[in-house]
Structure 1
Amino acid sequence: MTPDEHAAERRRETRTYLAGYAAALLLTAAAFAAVQWPRFPARTVFGIVLGLGLMQVVVQFRCFLHIGFKRSSRADLLLVLFSVLIIALMVSGTLVVIFNLRERMM
């Protein structure tokens, strides 16, 4: 690899990181705004935040973990499946705690 190719690769990688950072920041701000200033019913806001969270996961995978959508290798597939498992455990545990607290408060 020539020095020019190496510099071009670094610029492309830096642009990917900056675009991912900007997208993650925008998605986080949008989710915060949807909750802070609700203009829709609670279920709709929940759906918006859920959708923004899923988009955040795609941005993280694509921009920071460099997992492409063209051809998935076995390691990439295992990473995605493990991430889905961890997210499912976190969400289900949070819902158990929230519903338990709701039941106790009512």
Structure 2
Amino acid sequence: MSSASHSTSRSASHGTVKSYVVGFILSLGLTALSFGAVMSGTLPRDMILPAITLLAVVQLLIQLICFLHLGTAPEQRNNTMIFILTGSLIATIVGGSLWVMHNANVNMMPTQISPERARVKD
């Protein structure tokens, strides 16, 4: 491999200054919108959490694309697939743990029935 093709393939995996600046400005804007959603009082109280969650997901996607360079280009597909599989694994472990803890909580809670009443039902 010549040094010219080696430097080209190396620079292809890194972003440009423009992509970093755009990502930074968009991230700052989304952070300001989240802050404004809470502090301005223009949103109804029950809409603040969904708005912040939506803005956080959009900001996550922008940061993945602009800073971590995840995308569908051939040189980025491996990283994108590893990221998706890692996210799926974490979601499965966290979701399964929450499910087990919820079921343990529901099934192991003391009942609101007195011992005398329990004996009558037997």
- Pair in the same fold by TM > 0.5: yes
1:79 equivalent to 2:86? Answer: no
Confirm or deny that 1:39 pairs with 2:50: no
Unaligned runs of 5+ in 1: 94-106
CA contact (8 A) 1:34 1:48 kept: yes
Unpaired runs of 5+ residues, structure 2, are 99-122
1:29 aligns to 2:18 (yes or no): no
Say what the alpha-carbon RMSD is for the aligned residues. 3.0
Does the CA-based 8 Å contact 1:38-1:45 persist in structure 2? Answer: no
Aligned pairs, number: 82
- Normalised to the residue count of structure 2, the TM-score between the two structures is 0.54
| Divergent runs of 4+, >6 A | none
CA distance in 1, matches of 2:17, 2:45: 38
* CA 1:38–1:60: 2 relative to 1, 3 Å: same
Q: Percent identity?
A: 23
Find the structure with the greater CA-based Rg.
2
Q: TM-score, normalised by structure 1?
A: 0.61
